[in-house]
């Protein structure tokens, strides 16, 4: 039976970091609207600072997006150590049923190492073609795409390549990637409750879709910092760590310096001798070997470079080679800052003269990108229930006045945990904030009521598409 391993805690000074520097980093991130949701800083294997911006909290997992790739890479490293495959195995050898009738020279030359290093030779990310495939065979879609370049010579960020690694693990072991990692990585590290999305054929998506807690991210980074050794056991070969985190392929040039330092096996090289796994909208597992430090961050930021710039500016130079004198005043200030982190709920009035007249009324809207058909807001003394019809189904979202209300919603097609707050911000306008606190996404919605009419606006903090949509005008149904 595995004993749950919780990372030890320590005061920053004891591990050679000034509390003022950590506080300055947090304050700078807030001032520059980095959208951080959590952070955990480790030095010499000890957690020296941790915080969550409420309603985000330590017990909740967070979507990792492409930070999932580093966990997939880890699984490949373990499988190689078990003798299940090698870096130089042809990709086609694992997919006899999906092999196309005509095999190009470049496709035949593609090896496992090329999937890991994003150097498959494709000229475009293959992932979009997965969702167009009628038979839902994502591996078949990947192998059907033209391989323009000789594998190993051309870097292209290709999430489809990581899916293929997941499919290889499942084909070799008969287990999903998640199940394969459970006894080999998650249980020894004390990672519980991890979930991973699957493709229509039941294969974990590999390049995205993993959700774990902030401390779990930090544990992965610490495992790599410790060259694969954990609690007296070698979980991952040290030589794999070296290969996975060194530069395997050139990825310059880029407008952002952290994206042109080279790419390893599903890890990015960084300046200052560091490396990282990362995911869209600011999910980071940053490992700094020279400082014996790890930084785990979840967030909803549109500017991932900015967060790293602030790390280099505030945290990196503050790491001393020796312990620092205790500073009770600075430590208290840091703890007060970290314990008080929060995303502000919507503020405003609980009621307006118009409230009773519009409460519960249904408004129809014309065809729109959000696919809304009808909208309604039902008000009571504690808050508002917003109901929207999408297709044939009604979805509800409950908000509380000037405070977060915790519930669930299926508005985006999946059941999500959500915190919502709302208030009247003008005589005719109700504003609602929502935070899907296991994801990067936080939305702002406004409802402006007129004579038999409702104007609805929607903004989100980050998105792969637009973050703001044209206003929807709804007309009341009598």
Express each pLDDT in 158-214 by its tens digit: 999 999 999 999 999 999 999 999 999 999 999 999 999 999 999 999 999 999 999
325: pLDDT strictly greater than 60: yes
Share of the chain above pLDDT 90, in %: 97
221 plus 148 within the same structural domain: yes
Last residue of a domain, one of 305, 339, 373: 339
148: pLDDT strictly greater than 90: yes
Q: What is the CATH number of the domain that holds 465?
A: 2.40.128.20
3-state secondary structure of 87: coil
169 plus 228 within the same structural domain: yes
pLDDT at 4: 54
Q: Write out pLDDT tens, residues 117-139.
A: 999 999 999 999 999 999 999 99
221 plus 360 within the same structural domain: no
Query: Average model confidence (pLDDT) for the chain?
Result: 97
pLDDT at 5: 63
Per DSSP, 127 falls in state H
Q: Identify whether 344 is part of a domain.
A: no
Query: How many separate domains does the chain show?
Result: 2
Instruction: Report DSSP letters for 307-338, one per residue.
Output: HHHHIIIIIGGGB-SS-----HHHHHHHHHHH
**Alpha-carbon gap, residue 205 to 198, rounded angstroms:** 5
51 plus 187 within the same structural domain: yes
457 plus 364 within the same structural domain: yes
Q: Identify whether 1 is part of a domain.
A: no
273: pLDDT strictly greater than 50: yes
pLDDT at 410: 85
User: What's the rounded mean pLDDT across residues 439-452?
Assistant: 97
User: What's the rounded mean pLDDT across residues 376-389?
Assistant: 97
Q: What is the CATH number of the domain that holds 221?
A: 3.40.710.10
217 plus 362 within the same structural domain: no
Torsion region of 48: left, alpha or beta (phi above 0 gives left; psi -120 to 50 gives alpha): alpha
Residue 253 structural domain: 12-339
Which residues, including other chains, have CB under 8 Å from residue 64's CB and lie 6 or more apart?
71, 208, 210, 211, 212, 217, 279, 283
Q: Write out pLDDT tens, residues 57-116.
A: 999 999 999 999 999 999 999 999 999 999 999 999 999 999 999 999 999 999 999 999
Q: Other CB atoms closer than 10 Å to residue 238's CB: what's the count?
A: 12
Torsion region of 64: left, alpha or beta (phi above 0 gives left; psi -120 to 50 gives alpha): alpha
pLDDT at 431: 98
pLDDT at 412: 67
Q: Identify whether 6 is part of a domain.
A: no
Indicate the pLDDT class of residue 2, thresholds 50, 70 and 90: very low
431 plus 289 within the same structural domain: no
274: pLDDT strictly greater than 90: yes
335 plus 419 within the same structural domain: no
128 plus 177 within the same structural domain: yes
Query: What is the dihedral sign for C-alpha 109, 115, 116, 118?
Result: positive
User: What's the rounded mean pLDDT across residues 298-327?
Assistant: 98
Q: Identify whether 55 is part of a domain.
A: yes
Which residues, including other chains, have CB under 8 Å from residue 350's CB and lie 6 or more apart?
381, 401, 402, 423, 424
> Does 207 or 6 have the greater pLDDT score?
207
User: pTM higher than 0.85 for the full model?
Assistant: yes
Q: Identify whether 345 is part of a domain.
A: no
22: pLDDT strictly greater than 90: yes
**Alpha-carbon gap, residue 230 to 72, rounded angstroms:** 19
395 plus 261 within the same structural domain: no
Q: Write out pLDDT tens, residues 212-261.
A: 999 999 999 999 999 999 999 999 999 999 999 999 999 999 999 999 99
Please report, in angstroms and rounded to a whole number, the separation of the first and last CA atoms in the chain: 63
335 plus 360 within the same structural domain: no
Q: Identify whether 4 is part of a domain.
A: no
Tokens of 148: 């323009």
User: What's the rounded mean pLDDT across residues 426-441?
Assistant: 98
478: pLDDT strictly greater than 90: no
125 plus 211 within the same structural domain: yes
**Alpha-carbon gap, residue 142 to 125, rounded angstroms:** 9
Walk across the sheet containing 62-63 and list its strands.
Answer: 62-63, 210-212, 195-196
Q: Identify whether 3 is part of a domain.
A: no
């Amino acid at each position: 039976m595995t004993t749950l391993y919780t990372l030890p805690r320590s005061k920053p000074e004891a591990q050679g970091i000034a509390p003022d520097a950590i506080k300055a980093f947090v304050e700078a991130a807030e001032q520059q609207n980095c959208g951080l949701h959590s952070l955990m800083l480790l030095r010499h294997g000890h957690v020296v600072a941790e915080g969550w911006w409420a309603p985000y909290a330590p017990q909740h997992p967070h979507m990792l997006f492409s930070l999932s790739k580093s966990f997939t890479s880890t699984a490949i490293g373990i499988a190689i150590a078990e003798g299940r495959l090698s870096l130089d195995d042809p990709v086609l050898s694992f997919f006899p049923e999906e092999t196309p009738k005509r095999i190009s020279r470049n496709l035949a030359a593609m090896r496992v190492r090329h999937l890991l290093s994003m150097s498959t030779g494709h000229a475009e990310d293959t992932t979009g073609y997965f969702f167009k495939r009628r038979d839902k065979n994502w591996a078949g879609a990947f192998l059907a795409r033209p391989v323009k370049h000789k594998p190993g010579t051309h870097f292209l960020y290709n999430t489809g390549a990581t899916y293929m690694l997941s499919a290889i693990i499942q084909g070799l072991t008969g287990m999903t990637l998640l199940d394969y990692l459970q006894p080999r990585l998650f249980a020894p590290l004390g990672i519980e409750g991890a979930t991973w999305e699957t493709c229509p054929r039941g294969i974990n998506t590999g390049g995205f879709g993993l959700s774990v807690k902030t401390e779990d991210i930090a544990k992965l980074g610490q495992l790599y910092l410790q060259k694969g050794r954990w609690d007296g056991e070698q979980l991952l070969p040290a030589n794999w760590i070296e290969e996975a985190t060194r530069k395997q392929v050139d990825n310059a040039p880029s407008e952002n310096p952290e994206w042109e330092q080279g790419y390893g096996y599903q890890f990015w090289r960084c300046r200052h001798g560091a490396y990282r796994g990362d995911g869209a909208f600011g999910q980071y597992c940053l490992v700094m070997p020279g400082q014996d430090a790890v930084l785990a961050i979840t967030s909803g930021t549109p500017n991932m470079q900015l967060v790293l710039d602030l790390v280099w500016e505030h945290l990196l130079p503050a790491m001393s080679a020796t312990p620092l004198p205790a500073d009770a005043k600075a430590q208290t200030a840091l703890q007060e800052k970290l314990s008080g982190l929060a995303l502000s709920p919507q503020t405003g009035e609980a009621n307006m003269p118009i409230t009773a007249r519009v409460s519960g009324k249904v408004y129809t809207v014309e065809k729109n990108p959000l696919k809304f058909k009808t909208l309604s807001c039902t008000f009571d003394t504690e808050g508002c229930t917003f109901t929207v019809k999408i297709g044939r189904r009604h979805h509800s979202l409950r908000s509380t006045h000037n405070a977060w209300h915790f519930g669930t919603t299926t508005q985006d097609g999946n059941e999500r945990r959500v915190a919502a707050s709302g208030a009247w911000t003008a005589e005719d306008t109700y504003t609602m904030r929502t935070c899907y606190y296991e994801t990067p996404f936080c939305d702002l919605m406004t409802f402006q009521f007129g004579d038999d009419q409702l104007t609805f606006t929607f903004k989100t903090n980050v998105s792969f598409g637009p973050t703001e949509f044209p206003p929807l005008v709804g007309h009341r149904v009598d």
